[in-house]
Amino acid sequence: MVFNIIGTVDEILKIVMELSFLPIKIEISLIGQKNKNLIETYIRQKKLTNIQILSDEFSIIMKKTNCLVLAINDRNKTLKIIKDWIRFHDIGVLVLMSVFEFGFSDKVYQWLIGRGKRIEVIVIPRLPYSKIKDRYFLIGGQSYFGLAMFLRKELAKINVPVFLISRKEAEISQFAYQSFLIVKKAYQIELEKNCKKLGVDIEVIKKALNQISGFRYLKEREDKYWLNKSLSQLNNYQVESEQKLFNLSRKIVKNDKDWAVEELKRLLSQHPIQVVAIWGIDEIETVLKISRLSIKRIHIYDDSNNQKLVSSKVFYFKDLYQTVDGADILLILDLNDDYTTVSLSALEKRISQKIIIDRFNIFELYEINLLNWIYISKGRANVYNY
């Protein structure tokens, strides 16, 4: 599979910096040729043999690509390119790396369905993947055409987990990061003004701040990119909209946590479940809710000695397989790279009811079907092998 990314030089350069670690072929189609040498120089210096700048005519590119990646910070241009692209394609994958309002990707998806297109819409939030210590990759949406499965297999080769979330959750992640940059930029602008007033060398302050773990002073190029955006958005920033975004984020997180418990309640009415195994404690409140259900034992995998809940029902284990021994069902409540190393066939011998509730879509559906599991996942088609 080939990613064909369409965007301006400034937009694509930043994306190439972040996504160059992906072990897939990336083709770049530029809108405008100004400063094209910036990308060419970066590709050459980093020896990125998997990235190629296309020189074909735009219409030819649109015809030949069935996996279109858009990185354009302009709503009208984005929609125009999508309209042009679907003239040549009824089936494919559309990847959005820029969203313009909450629910934008879902609107595009419904619009495509209304025109009889079997095109899956994916959101990949523009986050600083290359700077994340424990690197991971976020994909928002379902993939009927194997994009998520393909990326997961390729990234597994370089030990990078893929975290599947919904399109709306991916949009929230994007907006949250943008808001963070805006606030950070505003802080830097104010800091530089104060340093100037006090006669303090800002370069010394920058070096000091960059020594703080987790703090990174925005670089000059990022300053230019974000300056106008930050100032204009700050000038128009409404407390009301910030509160709405916060409430929406909180609602999504709360619903996500409650989702696993609600699914377990539903299954309790259909299956004789007595022992529940849990990988990962997202919040003690979730475990408390589970402990109040009509079950006898809760096995929790916790290798951190952080045993928060003391109960006659709760037992802690430091080994993933020991946690599921004698259990009827497995709940996966947080993300851990260790989970991706587990063999489903080995779990099959330990979990009597062969049921998994998975918030993070860790296991592949083809293997689930092959081994005849009941698999309930978040943001993906569920498998009920009764």
Task: Name the band, by pLDDT with cuts 50, 70 and 90, for residue 234.
Answer: very low
Task: List where CATH 3.40.50.720 sits in the chain.
Answer: 2-165, 258-384
Task: Name the band, by pLDDT with cuts 50, 70 and 90, for residue 275.
Answer: very high
What's the rounded mean pLDDT across residues 12-22?
A: 71
Indicate the range of 32-41, 156-165, 222-231 predicted with least confidence: 222-231
On whether the pTM is more than 0.75, the answer is no
CA distance 174 to 247: 16
CATH class of 258-384: alpha beta
What's the rounded mean pLDDT across residues 224-241?
A: 48
Task: Name the band, by pLDDT with cuts 50, 70 and 90, for residue 255.
Answer: low
What's the rounded mean pLDDT across residues 352-370?
A: 80
Half-sphere exposure of 68 (CA within 13 A, CB side): 29
Cβ neighbourhood burial of 175 (10 Å; 0-12, 13-18, 19+): middle
CA distance 252 to 239: 20
Q: Which has more confidence, 134 or 139?
A: 139
- Calculate the average pLDDT of the chain: 75
Indicate the range of 45-54, 246-255, 260-269 predicted with least confidence: 246-255
Q: Quote the tokens at residue 355.
A: 């049921």
Indicate the range of 185-199, 334-348, 372-386 predicted with least confidence: 372-386
What's the rounded mean pLDDT across residues 285-307?
A: 81
Structural domain 2-165, CATH architecture: 3-Layer(aba) Sandwich (3.40)
Indicate the range of 53-62, 99-108, 293-302 predicted with least confidence: 53-62
Highest mean pLDDT out of 52-56, 119-123, 336-340: 119-123
Instruction: Give the pLDDT score at 386.
Output: 45
pLDDT tens figures, 194-207: 888 888 787 777 77
Indicate the range of 19-33, 123-137, 284-298 predicted with least confidence: 123-137
Instruction: Give the pLDDT score at 225.
Output: 47
258-261, Cβ contacts within 8 angstroms, sequence gap of 24 or more: 259/359, 259/378, 260/286, 260/331, 260/333, 260/357, 260/359, 261/286, 261/289, 261/290
Positive/negative CA dihedral, 268, 272, 274, 280: negative
